[in-house]
Copies of this chain bind each other. A is one copy, B any other.
């Protein structure tokens, strides 16, 4: 699927994810405006032909499809609804796409606020990490109007591989939350298994090799256990961001009236680690919860 005419694209947030994603859009030949809090982060893109916007307000005035991938829900809210916000200053018939992992409730609010001004807002969080962003292999989970999804889809296809439309506003964020919920307890299981094996005096590498092909098999076991075994706690995914996600999911679950005891436990364990100074470690540092 291709767009008949290439729209001018805007990008807010050029962190470890955004810089690669915006780079793919630029490389595909779209006119690109970028804005980010720290202008130096935009330099590599500006050198390749992207144009700088001095604010999200300016971006809203110049681009007709704008992607955002920032840090926390409060950042999203500011970028969309603040004084210089994308919705506040948005043009009718433009498309705003938040790819931050953020609150489903906020996603619905942005959708409604956008609608009032004739702006289509999509929530489209991703998974696949910095490598997925760099290699344009992100999974993109999209919620909002189907027509808006269809319009923006060619741009999603430039950034990712596994692109799914999941329903109305918030459905993308909810799906990402379900993903994080599954990962949270799964990571507890992986770390507890490793701690158990080590304390039992087993050859932990051999145990991992043995159990990772059967019923205990998981992405977390295969990709994080080797890092834990070589004491590599560098962030593929930051503990502080995982705590943000778990907090959002628990808030949503509370609104829906469902207890998620495994997720609550995971959040407590990760918060304890963060309090011990591990918030910038990777999620596999959950292993440090135990002193082994």
Contact = CB atoms under 8 A, between A and B. Distances in A.
B175 A211 contact: yes
Interface stretch (A23-31, A116-124, A260-268): A260-268
A269 B260 CA distance: 11
B189 A175 contact: no
A133 interface: no
Contacts of A129: 215
B218 A217 contact: yes
A74 interface: no
**Range, interface on chain A:** 35 or more
Interface in A80-96: none
A249 B179 CA distance: 28
Given A202-B171, A262-B185, A178 B197 contact: yes
Contacts of A34: none
Contacts of A190: 182, 186
Contacts of A162: 210, 213-214
- Specify the main secondary structure of chain A where it touches its partner: helix
Contacts of A128: 214-215
Contacts of A179: 193, 210-211, 214-216
Interface stretch (A36-44, A150-158, A251-259): A251-259
Interface string A182-197: 1111101110111111
B166 A182 contact: no
A132 to B, nearest CB: 8
Central interface residue in A179, A199, A215, A218, by most chain B CB within 10 Å: A215
Given A175-B210, A179-B211, A185 B196 contact: no
Nearest to A170: B200
Interface in A226-285: 237, 249, 252-253, 256-263, 265, 269
B265 A200 contact: no
A256 B216 contact: no
A221 interface: yes
Contacts of A55: none
A216 B216 contact: no
A110 interface: no
A203 interface: yes
A219 B219 contact: no
A206 interface: yes
Central interface residue in A184, A237, A290, by most chain B CB within 10 Å: A184
